[in-house]
Amino acid sequence: MKMKRELRSNFAIGSPRWATRRTMWRALGITDEEMKRPKIAIVNSSSNLAICFSHLDDIAKKMKEAIYAAGGLAFEVRTSAPSDFITVVGGHGGYIQGGRDLITNDIEAQVEGAYLDGMICLASCDKTVPGQIMAAARLNIPTLVFACGYQPAGKYRGKHMDIEDVFAQAGHYAAGRITLEELTEMTEVAIQGPGVCPGLGTANSTHMMTEALGLALPGSTPLLANSRKMWDAVRTAGERIVQMVWDDMKPRDILSPESFANAVMLMLSAGCSINTVKHLQAIATEAELDVDVFGLFDKYGPKIPLLTAVRPNGEHTIEELEAAGGAQALMKQLESLMFRDAKTLTGQTLGEVLQNVKVADEEIIRPLDRALAYRPAIVMVKGSLAPGYGIIKLAVANDRPMKFTGPAIIYQSGEEAMEGLKKGEIKAGMVAVVRGLGPKTTPGMGQASNFIFALDGAGLTGKVAVVTDGLLSGLVNKTLLVGEISPEAMDGTPLALVENGDLITIDVEQRIVDLEVSEDVLAERRKHAQDFRRKERGWLSIYQSCVSPLNKGAVLVDVDKK
């Protein structure tokens, strides 16, 4: 351990701050000697509402012991814990994306309010990871993000079955293609233990993203929840965070334009969740870095080949990805393209971390010269319909049309689109426009995924296209889908001006999404543009009044600065 330094959490003996802290902490059984230790927050985004968080309390207990053994003093603090499959119901789904920024502010209030020296963040479901890293970047105190692992999946009639499969099959049930008994049986077997969804959805994507940024232990993502490897990592993490405090190694010492570029390359190489785009942008904003993450995805998309095909992008499992070496092995295959001098929380550069890494299975994690595909896995598109950006996700075995022109059919919510589908309004050749789901409009972003799965259940996969400003949580499908369009549909933006029958053109290869309507016509429509914002109270109202645009990361900013 390096020479100790003065800690910000220690106040002058005899001062009011010292006296009141000592009174509170002595009542908790903490000794005077222990009060001199580095005081480290264990940020526990735990909840009994969802299985993805159900093991975090046990991890927090072991982490506390590990920190104490390493010479630190741990304090467990709690935050909000949004789950895509549970807390999506209220507020038109706005509490999911809105929950990310609530986590950031929860952490600020407790950790900065108490003036602690560092923190370990227990990362689990989708929004906990970026919310925690955003707080780390904002507070800039020594931070380690600990990915708490994925859940073991089950089998249904001899075939792999996880919660994403259940989500998709619910759309098939709605279309009458499976029975209620079959769907119910799937729900019984899909989850076999705690942890996040076992695929390259948003949770595992953000876990791996964190390692690429340099804020997670090397080789710790993805990993099976409650595995021996995870518990070993708990001990290592407890030791490391104490040393990081003594070294005063802070997130802004690690986060750099190069580390963001590395994270983008990793996301592209695995076809990760498109949610990582806005989350990385939000982290860069909180770190006060001048990094255009959307531009990085646009720049590196054509250059980074697809090296692995994990569900839902392909047929390999997350277990196979972990066994092949996980994020670290993927970065080893990408090493010649990555910024090897980027720093990591180990004190080593990325190049030094990767020096002795071996890829255990080059069929699961391919080398650059034998990639699965040499086209972008995540395609950033622009055009008259999306002057900011829209995002298209491509799977490995992509047989959808790469160019599509069709008449628009307009829906103002995911629920309305579902009803239109049931009524038979959506026909082959149409472009379904599902709008009013953006960060400001919903507020907090509404889910469009249910509708996409329902299209598949209705047999319209590949026969229609979809554009939306809504949230698509790690979704991959065979419908040509442009998601998270910005600017969103409010206050006269292009998406708000589309009318039924307008022609929309999507060209993946040219990276274009255009509304084939003259500017004169749009100017006239703009005079009578609808304000799509929902009127809310409470947290969502605060979020709506402060949130920045998607291509700025949808972070909360002072109203006066908007």
Q: Output the six-digit token pair for 409.
A: 């059919």
At 91-116, the pLDDT tens digits run 988 999 999 999 999 999 999 999 99
Rounded alpha-carbon distances, angstroms, from residue 303 to 81, 230, 416, 513: 36, 33, 39, 21
The pLDDT confidence band at residue 399, using thresholds 50, 70 and 90, is low
The pLDDT confidence band at residue 398, using thresholds 50, 70 and 90, is low
**Mean of the pLDDT values across residues 153-161?**
95
Beta pairing, strands 389-393 & 403-411: unpaired
The pLDDT confidence band at residue 400, using thresholds 50, 70 and 90, is low
Q: Output the six-digit token pair for 89.
A: 């119901």
**DSSP letter assigned to residue 292:** -
Residues forming a β-bridge with 495 = none
What pLDDT does 412 receive? 92
Please tell me the least confidently modeled range out of 36-50, 122-136, 165-179. 165-179
**Mean of the pLDDT values across residues 423-437?**
96
Instruction: Please state, as a whole number, how many other Cβ atoms lie within 10 Å of the Cβ of residue 174.
Output: 18
Instruction: Return the amino acid letter for 283.
Output: I
Specify burial of residue 306 (Cβ count, 10 A radius: 0-12, 13-18, 19+).
Answer: buried
| pLDDT reading at 476 higher than 60 | no
| pLDDT reading at 475 higher than 60 | no
What pLDDT does 383 receive? 97
Mean of per-residue pLDDT scores for the chain: 94
Q: Which DSSP string do the residues of 12-59 spell out, in sequence order?
A: -TTSHHHHHHHHHHHHTT--HHHHTSPEEEEEE---SSSGGGTTHHHH
**Mean of the pLDDT values across residues 390-415?**
87
Greater model confidence, 400 or 474: 400
At 253-293, the pLDDT tens digits run 999 999 999 999 999 999 999 999 999 999 999 999 999 99
What pLDDT does 535 receive? 84
At 186-238, the pLDDT tens digits run 999 999 999 999 999 999 999 999 999 999 999 999 999 999 999 999 999 99
What percent of the chain has a predicted confidence (pLDDT) above 70? 97
| pLDDT reading at 313 higher than 90 | no
| pLDDT reading at 2 higher than 60 | no
What pLDDT does 147 receive? 97
At 56-71, the pLDDT tens digits run 999 999 999 999 999 9
| pLDDT reading at 302 higher than 70 | yes
| pLDDT reading at 551 higher than 60 | yes
Q: Output the six-digit token pair for 406.
A: 């069709």
Closest CA to 270 of 206, 217, 224, 223: 206
| pLDDT reading at 562 higher than 80 | no
Alpha-carbon gap, residue 7 to 330, rounded angstroms: 38
At 527-544, the pLDDT tens digits run 988 888 888 889 999 999
**DSSP letter assigned to residue 221:** S
Give me the residue label for tokens 């426009």. Answer: 433
What pLDDT does 439 receive? 94
Instruction: Return the amino acid letter for 156.
Output: Y
**Dihedral (C-alpha) 303, 552, 47, 211: value to the nearest 10 degrees?**
30
Residues forming a β-bridge with 159 = 156
Residues recognised as catalytic = 473
Closest CA to 94 of 538, 452, 558: 538
- Measure CA 374 to chain center: 24
Q: Output the six-digit token pair for 257.
A: 């334009």
Instruction: Please state, as a whole number, how many other Cβ atoms lie within 10 Å of the Cβ of residue 48.
Output: 9
Q: Which DSSP string do the residues of 310-345 spell out, in sequence order?
A: BTTSSSB-HHHHHHHTHHHHHHHHTTTTS-TT-B-T
- Measure CA 212 to chain center: 14
Length of the chain equals: 562
Greater model confidence, 91 or 326: 326
Specify burial of residue 3 (Cβ count, 10 A radius: 0-12, 13-18, 19+).
Answer: exposed
CA-based angle 484:489:494, to the nearest 5? 100
Query: Edge-to-edge strands of the sheet including 480-486?
Result: 378-381, 389-393, 480-486, 465-468, 431-434, 403-411, 503-507, 512-515
Give me the residue label for tokens 């390259």. Answer: 200
**Residues sharing a CB contact under 8 Å with residue 216, sequence separation 6 or more, in sequence order:** 144, 145, 146, 147, 207, 210, 345
At 112-122, the pLDDT tens digits run 999 999 999 99
Are 512 and 505 contacting, i.e. CB atoms less than 8 angstroms apart? Answer: yes
3-state helix, strand, coil in the chain (%, to 5): 40, 15, 45
**Mean of the pLDDT values across residues 75-100?**
93
Beta pairing, strands 159-161 & 154-156: antiparallel
What pLDDT does 387 receive? 95
Helix crossing, 538-546 with 94-107: angle to 10°? 80
**Dihedral (C-alpha) 8, 14, 16, 20: value to the nearest 10 degrees?**
80
Are 106 and 114 contacting, i.e. CB atoms less than 8 angstroms apart? Answer: no
Alpha-carbon gap, residue 345 to 352, rounded angstroms: 12
Torsion-angle region of residue 92: left (phi > 0), alpha (psi -120 to 50) or beta?
Answer: left
At 477-526, the pLDDT tens digits run 567 899 999 999 987 899 999 999 999 999 999 999 999 999 999 999 99
What pLDDT does 175 receive? 84
Domains delineated in the chain = 37-152+193-354 (3.40.50.2300), 153-192 (no CATH), 378-561 (3.50.30.80)
Are 444 and 540 contacting, i.e. CB atoms less than 8 angstroms apart? Answer: yes
Are 240 and 247 contacting, i.e. CB atoms less than 8 angstroms apart? Answer: no
Greater model confidence, 479 or 369: 369
| pLDDT reading at 561 higher than 80 | no
